[in-house]
Chains A and B, each alone.
Chain A
């Protein structure tokens, strides 16, 4: 059992959690578990059912995908404040890439099934969590588009 005050303090240091209403922060703090990952630890496996969403508090995670002929490619890194495992709250619930810690990390991790159930029944929670998930996904979409443009193309 985590000390909620500590978890809420952690949330307040992330863009994802900082502006949430106090009761929503408390709800998330109760749902989540503060978890540490060691460097090189695989947090989520690409292609597997998504079982957790997390908010990275410190450290760095790499989103990796297996590209035939090129091996494992890091397509993006997750920096403190950002989320990972968003696919666990979107239909399909299948991980789009592997999430690997590149250094030791701390994150608030929420079980996917519990989060989905909570979002279904608590509309206030859903109304504040989904826009942020969308913002994060939208930002990745924009970054991916720029990657497709190949800014450094030669």
Chain B
């Protein structure tokens, strides 16, 4: 994600070994090149970055312990010079100073503005970690990547000589592994150090770096030494682990702008802005004027500012982010979502400073996991290994009969097929094709002793061709595919099947199963709504079920002529007077998406628990096995993870337009 010039293969391959006691030679060489050396040193109980005179100023034998709102130093058992992670300072301070005079104006004599443009200080940064290199690269994009550029930053940045250090230790707030920024260093340095037991494995990453390395009292490392350097960094990667699932996070956050957690975290947040100050990429500034009393000289200072300030987004007419939760949301969504839109990468490098230096212990990792958790994979048992699963391979089935259900919908009975199809479960579907006609997904509406029924509405070329088949014709089928109805979700409860129009087809097999296992359920009922009486499927079965004592059937139509004596009204009116305790209802719902949305809303408002509402989704499918990508629905493949979903598996995705 971070673009930095990669060192050439040759440079990467040329390694040196510098004994720990000889590190001063590097510091001296940097100073001799006319630079002040900035590096880690202990001050006020923390390892900060400040000017160092010699290796003696480095925190030899110290380590840091970090967690949310907590930082302590402790002795190591060895004398390593870089055996700790990042502290409160970031290199931002040296390329983007916290307080900078950006212009002065004078009134004595001729009025005018002056832009101070002093030579940037010649600095060498010693001990730049992988996450910090990533932060510098992000700042490059922010300050130098657009139409208008920050010249002061450019001067300081290009003057800086960078001695990077690979991390051989980690702390509790590190998550570079999740952000893809570390612990390994990949370019962006002049010299790279990896500290092992006796000293450093050294690599040059630029001609300037190579010149300095050449003058060091270094020798070629042994294989063991080179290997140790790689192993130590790898061990750090393993120790940190991947705690924050980043794929899809930027998109998920955008869907969570109304999450109640924003208000909850704002209750804790004291809006001190320390996260933004400690962050190595936060770049907001305030411009402040000052003038002397006689009005002859005025200056404009640029200060690090923070979006947590209550006045940050204020204009004369009011504040655009008036509530603390608005400001917290602004910061977190910028770092992990909208930054990507603006600058092509996330604004976070996983250094963990915002976590450690938050005085009220807010951990962005926890907040992100609570606000925009990763989509957990849908775990469903496989009913039966599908036959001819891959696209292009088909198992042959014979058409036993075709029966008209409505004006445009037919039930095609297949037989003489692979017995695996008969072992499929209600809710599953098959891909069916005819020569010269592309495969289409069709739900299995009934399992018979010698085959399966597919109920097909003639809407496209393949479905029309299928409904025109004569008994004895052959077709190619793949399946059974997808998830099936979790009938056990309704054990001991009121099983309510809600069907709209042709949605009764994938539910038909479920109704059969519910009736066959009737004693496992408190009650079993079918609510079926169609547009007109003529649109009802399976009219014989409906009559049979209505006559049976095993299941209650209520049918309603949206509109009807005078000959219809049954109920008229939308399907949700059937819920109005459900006589049961709705918390004990398990509902299985299929229909056109609008009907499902209205039904789900109706059921929830009656008190049916969302985790006891099961639906079957429809999406465009080409392959049926999660490879073609057509049926993708915000992190799910409807064909593979569905089509049957528990409502809470879908969460926000259901009811969202355009997903």
Give A contacts to B, CB under 8 Å: 15, 39, 60, 62-64, 71-77, 79, 81, 100, 102-103, 139, 142-143, 146-147, 149-154
Contact = CB atoms under 8 A, between A and B. Distances in A.
Given A143-B573, A151-B595, A72 B565 contact: no
Given A75-B568, A139-B576, A147 B592 contact: no
B558 interface: yes
Given A60-B567, A151-B570, A74 B595 contact: no
A142 B500 CA distance: 18
Given A72-B562, A74-B559, A75-B559, A152 B501 contact: yes
Contacts of A149: 594, 598
Nearest to A72: B562
A76 B576 CA distance: 14
Contact of B558 (A60, A102, A151): A151
Contact of A60 (B529, B565, B577): B565
A75 to B, nearest CB: 6
Contacts of A64: 562
B591 interface: yes
B46 interface: no
Contacts of B560: 62, 73-74
Contact of A152 (B567, B568, B576, B591): B591
A74 to B, nearest CB: 4
B573 A152 contact: no
B561 to A, nearest CB: 7
B413 interface: no
B561 A71 contact: yes
CB-CB nearest 10 A-B residue pairs? A151-B595, A77-B568, A102-B565, A152-B531, A74-B560, A146-B570, A152-B501, A74-B568, A77-B567, A72-B562
B568 A151 contact: no
Residue from B568, B594, B595 whose CB has the most chain A CB atoms within 10 Å: B568
B34 interface: no
A115 to B, nearest CB: 24
Contact of B577 (A15, A39, A100, A150): A15
B101 to A, nearest CB: 63
Contacts of B556: 77
22 contacts: A15-B577, A60-B567, A72-B562, A74-B568, A76-B569, A77-B567, A77-B569, A79-B567, A79-B577, A81-B577, A102-B564, A139-B576, A143-B572, A143-B573, A146-B570, A146-B598, A147-B570, A149-B598, A150-B558, A151-B531, A152-B529, A154-B459
B530 interface: yes
Nearest to B559: A73
Contacts of B501: 152
Contacts of B576: 139
Interface string B354-378: 0000000000000000000000000
Nearest to A80: B577
B590 to A, nearest CB: 12
A71 B202 CA distance: 91
Contacts of A154: 459
A72 B562 CA distance: 6
Contacts of B530: 152
Contacts of A81: 577
Interface string B520-553: 0000000001110001000000000000000000
A147 B567 contact: no
Interface residues of B, number: 30
Contacts of B402: none
Contacts of A103: 565
A42 to B, nearest CB: 11
A139 B558 CA distance: 15
Contact of B568 (A15, A39, A76, A146): A76
B561 A74 contact: yes
Given A74-B561, A76-B569, A147-B559, 12 more contacts: A60-B566, A60-B567, A62-B562, A71-B561, A72-B561, A102-B565, A103-B565, A143-B570, A150-B531, A151-B595, A152-B558, A153-B594
A154 B531 CA distance: 10
Residue from A72, A100, A152 whose CB has the most chain B CB atoms within 10 Å: A152
Interface string B27-40: 00000000000000
A151 B591 contact: yes
A68 B596 CA distance: 31
B571 interface: yes
A63 B568 contact: yes
A75 B571 CA distance: 13
Given A74-B559, A152-B500, A152-B595, A146 B565 contact: no
A142 B570 CA distance: 10
Interface string B475-512: 00000000000000000000000001100000000000
B572 to A, nearest CB: 6
Contacts of A79: 567, 577
Contacts of B531: 150-152
A64 B529 CA distance: 19
B595 A77 contact: no
Contacts of A100: 562
A139 B605 CA distance: 14
Interface in B416-464: 459
A60 B564 CA distance: 11
A37 to B, nearest CB: 13
A153 B559 contact: no
A72 B500 CA distance: 24
Contacts of B561: 71-74
Nearest to B573: A143
B567 to A, nearest CB: 5
Contacts of A146: 570, 572, 598
Interface string B293-323: 0000000000000000000000000000000
B546 to A, nearest CB: 15
Nearest to A139: B576
A46 to B, nearest CB: 13
A139 B570 CA distance: 11
Contacts of A77: 556, 566-569
B656 to A, nearest CB: 17
A44 to B, nearest CB: 15
Contacts of B564: 62, 74, 102
A142 B576 CA distance: 12
Residue from B529, B535, B560 whose CB has the most chain A CB atoms within 10 Å: B560
Given A77-B567, A102-B565, A143-B572, A151 B559 contact: no
A153 B592 CA distance: 8
Interface string B561-604: 11011111111110011000000000000011011001000000
Interface in B93-121: none
B576 to A, nearest CB: 7
A76 B591 CA distance: 20
